[in-house]
Amino acid sequence: MSHPLESIIGYTFKNPELLETALTHTSYANESRAPVKHNERLEFLGDSVLQIVSADYLFHAYADRPEGDLTRIRASLVSEGALFQFAQEIHLGEYLRLGRGEERCGGRTRPSVVIGRLEAVIALPCILDGGMEVA
């Protein structure tokens, strides 16, 4: 059975367990009785994927712009505000697996929590599930 997020982002994961890991905050993993993987490593990878994919796009789309301009444009594209806005547009907060404390503190709407999960979700199809072409 597919995850609702797959139809929103237009990608079907070959390994659905990776998506569950990407959506799992450390608070959930820490409170679980059984060992549960969380997304911190995927978040690290996703951040790097965002940087390289946006840099590649800007390099080709704005061939006449100097490096300083490209750096500023990339920074605005991958800023906390831009990423949080996109995460809200796809309702990412609804799909997060959070621990009870994080849930009570509003983790589903906290930019740092939601953006981390977005970066993890980005890492999956791009690197671990589908390859760089999917990016």
Catalytic residue among 43, 47, 102, 129: 47
47 is catalytic: yes
The angle at the Cα of 71, spanning 67 to 77, to the nearest 5 degrees, equals 145
Considering the candidates 43, 102, 119, 129, report the single residue annotated as catalytic: 119
| 133 assigned to active site | no
Length of the chain equals: 135
**Whether 113 contacts 97, CB under 8 Å:** no
**Tokens linked to 121:** 């979700």
Only one residue has tokens 């995850």, namely 3
Catalytic residue IDs: 47, 119
